[in-house]
Structure 1
Amino acid sequence: MDAKEEINNENDNETSETHLGYFTRSKRRKLENGRENYTKASTSTILKRKISILCLPNEVITIILSYLAGNELSKSIRLVSRRFKEISGNMLNNSFKKIGKTINTLISNTELSLRCINEDVELRCVLKLLNMLEILKQSYDIVIATVWRYVYNEYYVTTKTCLFAGKLIDVYFSFIYKFLKHPNLLYGSAIIDDYNLPSEVTKIVEMTKKFCVHFDKVIEEPISNFPPQSGCKLIDIFNCSQFSNSNVLAEKVVGKDSFVGEYCYFFQNSWFVAIPISSSKQSDWFHRRRMMHMRIRRIVLAHNELFLQQSQYERDLLLRADPTLYRTRAPENSVYTGFGDIGNNFFYYGVMNNGAFRQKFAEQLEEEGLYGVYPVDVDEVPNQEDVVAESNSESNILYRIPYLGFHAHIRVKCPLSFAPLRFLSTLDGSLVQRLKHNTEDKDTEGSVDIKVSFNCMSAAYPCLPTNYEYHENN
């Protein structure tokens, strides 16, 4: 039999009639001869538009992204869109600034805690933690000196970027977390081996060196239209040296917005020699400037590292006069050297600690009978004018007394906005506000003139050049 189906048309205005129809398969039902009104069934579901994360305010996105690691922000999130790049960049910059404040606070609190410790074992553990914090402080300062003009600059217009070393930030936070929650995981290895640092500290030191080189090469060197953007970056790097004898000979504001400075640095147990050579290699001014920044940064980092070990060793002997455990052993004899040629000069530089210096020159001092007359640890550089150089003469004291160290004399003249960071941080608020208002003024892009005179008197012993002049001028 054929299937019978009853079709009912519901209409509020007319009385519906019943119709019979036959269907062989399921399909749309047709109205008869157009005499019936067809009404579409209304849906009771209200469709809502999904809200994209891009529609959220920046504050909400910042809270969401705060659960991600810094490495993810720098490698992935920062590349999604321009808006995400700005948000993640600000988060990375703020995180690194927070790290600096946290390290300074931890150092201050740890130094205060040393006064309240009576037990030798606890004192030894706290000293190891303080040593690690001081190492991280050195690495942090050198990064700030390298990037602040392009990341945190509020004094003049530069190419803005962010501190994209997200992995470096993650390792810093990992160390801080262990320091506050599980300090035994940090000083445990150092108690067994005096100079065995935890993995976080060694990673930070290595990544700092690589990041600074990468930042100069990728961010700073390609900026060739405005040479003075780097300002007095070379002096900022010199100011990171904690154990050099530094003197500020002059530092003042001239006229309305000009800066004049003169500085003198002496690096003990160090050398810096530039040997003239004939080379066919071509290098532009920006490449030579980047390489000079890299050399000085290497010397400063090596000098800080070697002399910080000696300083920490002497502090340990002073505070632990009667140790219940074994005494801390003296630092091993260490030497750092670097070399490379660029243009028509071959550069050779390096640093050695006191132990390596004594090992190399003690026998010579004893043979000359000058071991008690001339101290091994030289604190002051002899005046070059007081020494009459006689080539390979035995009467010349330079050839009889082992003397190691180089002298860097810096003269700078530039707009006030380009001054070293240490000087800018001492300016009063009104002058800083005036500099900030003048950042859009093109007149502030003046000339930066830096002259550095390197004098390594010990290079006269092997008959090498003792002086080298370096000049930065856009």
Structure 2
Amino acid sequence: MDSEEINDESDHDDQNSPGYYTRSKRRKLNKKQLEVATVSSPDLTERKRKNPIMFVPSEILQTVFKYVSHHELSGSIRLVNRRFKINAENVLNLAFKKIEKNLNVLIKNAEVSLAYTQDDMEIKCVSKLLNMLEILKVQYSIVMSTIWRYVYNEYYRTNRSCMYGGLLIDTHNIFLWKFVHYPNLLYAPAVVKDYALPQEVTRIIQMTKTFCVHFDKVNEEALHNCLVYSGCKVIDILDCAKFIQKLVLDEKVTSDTFVARYNYFFQNSWFIGLPISVTKEMEWNQKQRMMHMRLRRVVLAHNDMFLQQAQYERELILRPGPTIRIKKPGNNVYTGYGDVMDTFFYYGVMNDGAYIQKFHLDEDNDEDEVDEEVQNQAGNGPHANVPRNNSEEDIFYQIAHLGFRMNIEVRCPLSYAPLKILEKLDTNQQDILKKKHKTKGPTGISIVFECEGASYPRLPTIYEYHFKPKLL
């Protein structure tokens, strides 16, 4: 990325050099020529040093930048000078915020179209387009939960950055342009092959993961007390999950303090922290970044699995008599793992089809065959009195196979509260927060993961994680 320029200073011949630098004598000028040179010299210097575009007002300069791709703005133009940097970043930040508005408008239009459409094939095409918009809306919320405190933060002072993911913005705009002008290019792959996505959506999903990890590592981890600046970022990420059970056990907002207790339950998911021997040392801000990444992966995978199931059920309702059979989502499983110092993490999500295949294999069997098999096994052999597996007599059968619960306790200054809390504040409270020059107070987040299904393979069912930064 950084280029190094090496200038050779040996501009003279070493053999003929008298030991010092020489230059030609200055030619004498008469009085008239001297006056002309004295008047014109500053003007020439000013013209050489100042480029005319530097005198253009910022509004016009930003209008010119709109004709350049956001990828070039973030990767090239933003690095020219300070003035270009300020105006390019302003264009990038506004462009990303505009994506959310466009997605919301198109989602409403697609829902209205479905209400007035009668043709079965047209319903299928519009529903596929609506599915893509919902996927992009989830991806957008994940990016916003990662960057808003450093890009769009109006509640307290922190290290400022920008939405430098120009290629991500460009890909969104390409998709939106095709959606408005050539929607057939988007829904055609999904109509031919169920659950297939166009190239733009697939790239956005991948770039979202990459960008969030890069932003955490480059922009946030480098801060001296990054947990304090990021505030309740854990809750911002968890609030992006659309198909979970969330209980607000306690939530108190005072003039300068935020205290809350939440309970999140992820269905068909697991999260296990297994103690191991220390393999490598890691600072606490790196551990925080890894936890944010881990939770983000779980949320994205959970949304992907259950959003696909919800979209399938919606299409069944919209198309009661389909001309082409509506294919059920395939069995999908997502797993992730990794070690951080003295803990090995294993987490994942599976959809309903994979869950049924994994834990309820006898549901598709005929009832008579099951009864006959049980009768043949009962009363025979030395283990006749042992409780049957997966029966009401088996104590482990009462434990859920999958699903983990998160109990979160938060205590922090009001400025560091989750985004949804800050948006609900009245105008006076928001103005008070904006006028504060420095935020003081303890910041602590305690998370307890409970995964009862881990008792089957004799793994730990509880893992505790605590964020305890130093006071600023």
Cα distance in 1 for residues equivalent to 2:123 and 2:339: 47
Return the offset for 1:227: 3.6
Distance verdict in 2 for CA 1:364–1:345, change over 3 Å:
farther
In 1, Cα distance between equivalents of 2:33 and 2:143 = 73
Equivalent residue number for residue 404 of structure 1: 402
Taking the aligned partners of 2:242 and 2:421, their CA distance within structure 1 comes to 17
Partner of 1:453: 448
State the 1:447 CA deviation: 2.0
Contact 1:246 1:263 in 2 (8 A): yes
2:334 counterpart residue number: 336
Aligned length: 406
User: What one-letter code is carried by the residue in structure 1 that aligns with 2:55?
Assistant: C
Map Cα deviations across residues 335-392 of structure 1 (whole Å, 9 max, x no partner): 000000001100000000000011111126789x9xx9xxxxxxxxxxxxxxxxxxx9
C-alpha deviation, 1:51, in angstroms: 5.3
Instruction: Kindly state the Cα deviation for residue 327 of structure 1 after the two structures are TM-superposed.
Output: 2.2
Alignment of structure 1 residues 48-59 onto 2, 5 Å: 52-59=52-59
Which stretches of structure 1, 4 residues or more, deviate above 4 A after TM superposition? 46-51, 364-367, 392-396, 399-402
AA partner of residue 426 (structure 2): D
Alignment of 1:260-275 (within 5 A): 260-275=259-274
After superposition, residues 210-359 of structure 1 pair within 5 angstroms as: 210-225=210-225, 227-254=227-254, 256-323=255-322, 325-359=323-357
Aligned-residue RMSD, C-alpha: 2.3
Matched ranges for 1:102-251 at <5 A: 102-225=102-225, 227-251=227-251
Q: CA deviation at 1:433?
A: 1.0
Offset, 1:403: 1.9
Contact 2:226 2:285 in 1 (8 A): no
Mapped to 1, the partners of 2:121 and 2:391 lie a distance apart of 55
CA deviation after TM superposition for structure 1 residue 398, in Å: 2.5
CA contact (8 A) 2:399 2:452 kept: no
Corresponding residue number in structure 1 for 2:28? none
Normalising by structure 2, what TM-score? 0.82
Q: Which amino acid is the alignment partner of residue 124 of structure 2?
A: R
The CA deviation at 1:401 is 6.0
The structural deviation recorded for 1:424 is 1.0
| CA positional deviation for 1:272 | 0.2
2:358 to 357, 360, 366: 360
What does the per-residue CA deviation read over 1:373-419, in whole Å, with 9 as the maximum and x for residues that have no partner? xxxxxxxxxxxxxxxxxxx9995533466621000011101011100
Q: Which amino acid aligns with 1:251?
A: E
2:467 equivalent to 1:469: no
Alignment check: 8 A CA contact 2:150 2:161 kept: yes
Distance 2:101 2:400 in 1: 42
**The residue matched to 2:104 in structure 1 has which SS?**
helix
Secondary structure of 2:360 counterpart:
helix
Q: Give distance in 2, aligned partners of 1:404 and 1:398.
A: 12
- What SS class does the counterpart of residue 289 from structure 2 fall into? helix
1 CA distance for matches of 2:209 and 2:185?
Answer: 25
Query: TM-score, with normalisation over the residues of structure 1?
Result: 0.82
Distance in 2 (alpha carbons) for counterparts of 1:455 and 1:189: 41
CA distance in 2, matches of 1:200, 1:282: 40
More helix by share: 2
Q: Partners of 1:55 and 1:307 in 2: how far apart?
A: 54
Shift of 1:280: 3.2
**How far apart are residue 108 of structure 1 and its match?**
1.4
Distance in 2, Cα, partners of 1:402 & 1:234: 26
- Summarize the Cα distance change of 1:364–1:414 in structure 2 as closer, same or farther, 3 Å threshold: farther
* 1:224 match: secondary structure: coil
Q: Check conservation: 2:227, 2:467, Cα contact below 8 A.
A: no
How far has the Cα of 1:57 moved from its partner?
1.5
Q: Gapped runs of 5+ residues in structure 1?
A: 1-37, 373-391
After TM superposition, the structure 1 = structure 2 runs for residues 371-386 of structure 1, keeping only pairs within 5 Å, are none
Q: Provide the rounded CA distance (Å) in 2 between the counterparts of 1:39 and 1:68.
A: 47
**Which residue identity lines up with residue 309 of structure 1 in the other structure?**
Q
Shift of residue 39, structure 1, vs aligned partner:
11
* 1: CA distance, partners of 2:57 / 2:434: 28
- Structure 1 residues 264 and 400: CA distance shift in structure 2, 3 A: closer
Cα distance in 2, alignment partners of residues 413 and 63 from structure 1: 44
CA distance in 2, matches of 1:135, 1:344: 36
Task: Write the letter of the residue equivalent to 2:320.
Answer: A
Assess if the C-alpha contact under 8 Å between 2:71 and 2:170 holds in 1: yes
